[in-house]
Amino acid sequence: MAAESGKIDPMHQFEVTPLGGGFTLGGHDILFTNSALWMVVAAIALGLFMWGGMRRQLVPGRWQAAVEGFTGFISNMMMANIGTEGRKYTPYVFSLFMFILFCNLLGMLPLGVLGLHPFTVTSHIAITGVLALISFAIVLVVGFWRHGLHFFSLFVPHGTPLPMIPIIAPIEFVSFMVRPFSLGLRLFVAMTAGHVLLKVLSGFVINGFNAETLWLGSIVSVLSFTLMIGISALELLVAGIQAYVFALLTSLYINDAVNLH
């Protein structure tokens, strides 16, 4: 952070820095970066969380009940949106939901106080885009596997009048092809915007106390800090909602592939 120049760069937090451990794969250098570190941290935290729910007691304790709350939430969503066949896809959607949720929440941790630099993995379009593409690929594979070329009837909604088909079908096709982009972009934009906003406000807090007219700067700082508390709460909500939206839309898209409207 370029604090010494009195200028705070809100984009610095998205910077990927190498932490070492490089090797070459297919002509590309693969380095262990801070992004990879936070993915691994999220995976380990998720693993510990799930492990605490593996006691398999008939009457669950608090931790087991929490884990079962998450698994039940996703299985019910799959059951409601897809039906009994949805159980097959629950492992994928659950992994997706929990990975995104943990990455979102870990990025919100106030570790900057300890001098660490938290990194929000899901604020990178490369990450969210790949996750969206995996979901989209599953939809395509399942759709063509189950329905063959009949899968293209997805672009003709049920009950469309015959003369409307040449107009409706291209619109449906475009909206179908836009899905992976909107899916990946939504999460990336929500995370990036929230973190930029928080960083800009924290810049106001710092610059306010460093201002020449201290009384005015202090007012700005205190107001900004109050706003930051509220926005942090909002961002925690957004972290959960965006993970939910990603999982929900994935389940809806898989439903299209499984049940064709």
* Least CB distance to other proteins at residue 24 (A): 10
Q: Which is nearer to other proteins, 221 or 250 (CB)?
A: 250
Query: Distance (Å, rounded) from C-alpha 128 to C-alpha 225?
Result: 30
CA atoms within 13 A on the CB side of 18: 7
* Least CB distance to other proteins at residue 62 (A): 15
Three-state DSSP at 158 gives: coil
* Least CB distance to other proteins at residue 191 (A): 10
Query: Distance (Å, rounded) from C-alpha 96 to C-alpha 99?
Result: 5
The residues binding other proteins (CB under 8 A) are 11, 14-16, 18, 25, 28-33, 35-36, 39-40, 42-43, 46-47, 50-51, 53-54, 56-58, 60, 67-68, 71-72, 75, 90-92, 94-95, 98-99, 121, 123-127, 130-131, 134, 188, 192
Q: Which is nearer to other proteins, 49 or 155 (CB)?
A: 49
* Least CB distance to other proteins at residue 47 (A): 6
Q: Which is nearer to other proteins, 136 or 188 (CB)?
A: 188
Q: Do the Cβ atoms of 96 and 103 come closer than 8 Å? A: no
Amino acid in position 23: F
* Least CB distance to other proteins at residue 136 (A): 15
Q: Which is nearer to other proteins, 35 or 202 (CB)?
A: 35
Q: Which is nearer to other proteins, 54 or 114 (CB)?
A: 54
* Least CB distance to other proteins at residue 72 (A): 6
Q: Which is nearer to other proteins, 151 or 253 (CB)?
A: 253
Query: Distance (Å, rounded) from C-alpha 166 to C-alpha 184?
Result: 29
Three-state DSSP at 25 gives: strand
* Least CB distance to other proteins at residue 1 (A): 14
| CA dihedral angle for residue 144, residue 145, residue 149, residue 150, rounded to 10 degrees | -90
Three-state DSSP at 105 gives: helix
Q: Which is nearer to other proteins, 194 or 208 (CB)?
A: 194
Query: Distance (Å, rounded) from C-alpha 256 to C-alpha 150?
Result: 12
Place of tokens 């630099």: 117
DSSP 100: H
| CA dihedral angle for residue 209, residue 213, residue 217, residue 219, rounded to 10 degrees | 120
Query: Distance (Å, rounded) from C-alpha 122 to C-alpha 54?
Result: 27
